[in-house]
Amino acid sequence: MADIRITGRMVNFTRLTFDTNDHDAIRQQLTSMMSETSYQGALVIIDTTVEQELIALIQLIISLDLQPMAVIDGLLGDQARAIQFPVLPADRPLQRIKPTKEQVVETPVKQPDQPTKTATVNTPKTLSHATSYHDEILRTGQCIVQDHGDVILNAGINSGSEVIASGNIHIYGSVRGRVIAGAGGNTTARIFCHSLEAELVSIAGTYCVADDIPQDVIKKAVQIYLNDQQELVFEALQF
């Protein structure tokens, strides 16, 4: 009988990206974040955009009841290898592609009445709302981003792909990648899809990874939105 068994398990990690090496500021911000959420004991991956002293940073993270598991290769890679701390490869950048079609609607914004004394002429202001349409499957490594409106996909999205919109996202196919609606904080945004198998869904920063998506809506037609408590709601669609 073998003394070693190999099994698989899905484990969720939280990625911490540091834009400062001021440990007092890091401690203060992490403490504040953890007081609002249930991150205590979370497994974390460390990334940074500035030079850091890795050992001191690991000690700081542990002191806040987080469990550092690895670093993203980059500024911390050499320090991590020197102490035999795990190093994960850097992210492969996604290829941002152009949608098949984009439609922009300009809506005039009513200006307040000006006093008759003034001779100033105001240029009418408008609000722009864009909708991106895409007719092909979004393939692994590709992403579509719409910063000023909605995205409508007439086919599915593969794992390793990503759709981001400031507004709503409609996907008429299987969703196996990452879907991020309400980017920028639009809490009224919604996600609609024909078959939900996503790696991640997010609305206005509130997200849910694959393991946490309710099993009763997997591979079902679903709409996703935020309730009054800013929690994600998964609602099966009936046709």
Tens of pLDDT, residue by residue over 21-61, are 999 999 998 888 777 555 678 889 999 999 999 999 999 99
Tens of pLDDT, residue by residue over 156-179, are 999 999 999 999 999 999 999 999
Total count of domains within the chain: 2
pLDDT at 108: 78
Averaged pLDDT for residues 146-160: 94
Asked if pLDDT for residue 101 goes beyond 80, the answer is yes
pTM for the full predicted model = 0.63
Tens of pLDDT, residue by residue over 52-96, are 999 999 999 999 999 999 999 999 999 999 999 999 988 777 899
Is the residue at 222 inside a domain?
yes
Is the residue at 158 inside a domain?
yes
Give dist(CA 162, CA 213) in Å, integer. Answer: 17
Listed in sequence order, the DSSP H helices in the chain are 23-36, 54-63, 77-82
Residue 182, both tokens? 């309400």
Give dist(CA 70, CA 78) in Å, integer. Answer: 13
Q: Report the interhelical angle of 54-63 vs 23-36 (nearest 10°).
A: 30
Residues 77 and 136 in one domain: no
Residues 153 and 223 in one domain: yes
Which pairing describes strands 95-96 and 101-109: parallel, antiparallel, or unpaired? unpaired
pLDDT band for position 221 (50/70/90)? very high
Domain endpoint, select from 86, 116, 142: 86
205: domain CATH number?
2.160.20.70
Q: Is 226 exposed, middle or buried (0-12, 13-18, 19+ CB in 10 A)?
A: buried
Q: Which residue has the tokens 């919604």?
A: 190
Q: What rounded mean pLDDT belongs to the chain?
A: 87
Is the residue at 120 inside a domain?
no
Q: Residue 85's closest CA among 44, 36, 49?
A: 44
Is the residue at 115 inside a domain?
no
Domain span including residue 200:
128-234
pLDDT band for position 10 (50/70/90)? very low
Contact 96, 128 (CB under 8 A): no
Is the residue at 137 inside a domain?
yes
Contact 214, 208 (CB under 8 A): no
Is the residue at 65 inside a domain?
yes
Give dist(CA 167, CA 108) in Å, integer. Answer: 19
